Amino acid sequence: MSRLAVIGAGAWGTALALQAVRAGHRVTLVARDAVAAAAIQAHRENRRLPGFRLPEPLDVSDHIPGNADLLLWTVPTQHLRTSLLRLEPASDAIVVCAKGVEAVTHMLPLEVVSDVPPARRLAVLTGPNFAHEVAKGLPAASVIASTDAGLREQVRSMLGTNTFRIYGNDDPIGAQLGGAAKNVIAIAAGAVIGAGLGENARAALVTRGLSELRRLATALGGRAETVMGLSGLGDLLLTCTGPSSRNFSLGYALGQGESLSAILASRSAVTEGVPTAAALVARAGDVELPVCRAVAELLAGKKTLAQTIVELLSRPQRDE
């Protein structure tokens, strides 16, 4: 029986820990501090993902074990760099299970990990996955993206099951950009529905958002075909249509007239699209991203939703 450690005891980390147990492994779920770890251990349930009793092969700790065969890093992107300081230098492979762009540096998650020495084998796990469905064991698919073929196979063999299918991909740049951009586009999709603009408008916006993602990926060194897979189109479809999406629901509330500050104050979970929007646009440089730029300006308070809608609808018409 192999040992896995999941760093980050949020909903996604807990779901992946349950999936790793389902795949036949001993798992340590690492919480941010001793108090949080003790609370989860005492109740054998995580309030961040209620309704799922933690099975016996799942330990809870506030320390990263030194004997883990694989580390799954589920800490949100904006806290990824700080959390890495807890890691022993001897640790080998890290699988980042977070999406977004670091707000200060505009780095993608794997770039953040590479920026914190020493060098390690790296991969990113991404795709259209809601935590509560993975925790239930419902059918799902994900992507493990890495230039290290051996690491891709290791993750697939250790975490994959018949109901959690993992596909390998050697384009981590494209996979990470898909995970980052889809959250920003989902905010726009939610705002469209919240403002009552209709399903036609949402379908058009999501499709044009996919075109933006394709341009962005190819401009930054990724591949267009990656965008058409699970880490791009698949994740975009889920996040822009699923009512469980935090980014879609935030956009919906904005479309209903709620303020961003009030929406965020009512939430305990991170909505990654909010800090990612401006960082993604900055990283893109001169790449044409009208939807993502509109979301960044809306979130920054530079434009109202009404102004944003008028500007997008007033763009010159052209061939697709």
Contact between 15 and 49 under an 8 Å Cβ cutoff? The reply is yes
Contact between 242 and 142 under an 8 Å Cβ cutoff? The reply is no
- In the residue annotation, 182 being an active-site residue is answered as yes
State the pairing for strand pair 164-169/26-30: unpaired
Rounded Cα–Cα distance for residues 307 and 208 (Å): 19
R_g of the chain computed on alpha carbons: 19
State the pairing for strand pair 140-145/70-73: unpaired
Rounded Cα–Cα distance for residues 146 and 239 (Å): 23
Contact between 152 and 168 under an 8 Å Cβ cutoff? The reply is yes
Strands in the chain per DSSP E: 3-7, 26-30, 58-61, 70-73, 93-96, 121-126, 140-145, 164-169
- With H, G, I as helix, E, B as strand and everything else as coil, classify residue 26: strand
- With H, G, I as helix, E, B as strand and everything else as coil, classify residue 167: strand
Closest listed residue to residue 276, CA positions, set 224, 239, 222, 241: 239
- What is the H or E stretch that residue 133 is in? helix 131-136
Burial (CB count <10 Å: 0-12, 13-18, 19+), residue 197? middle
Q: What are the residue numbers of the active site? A: 182
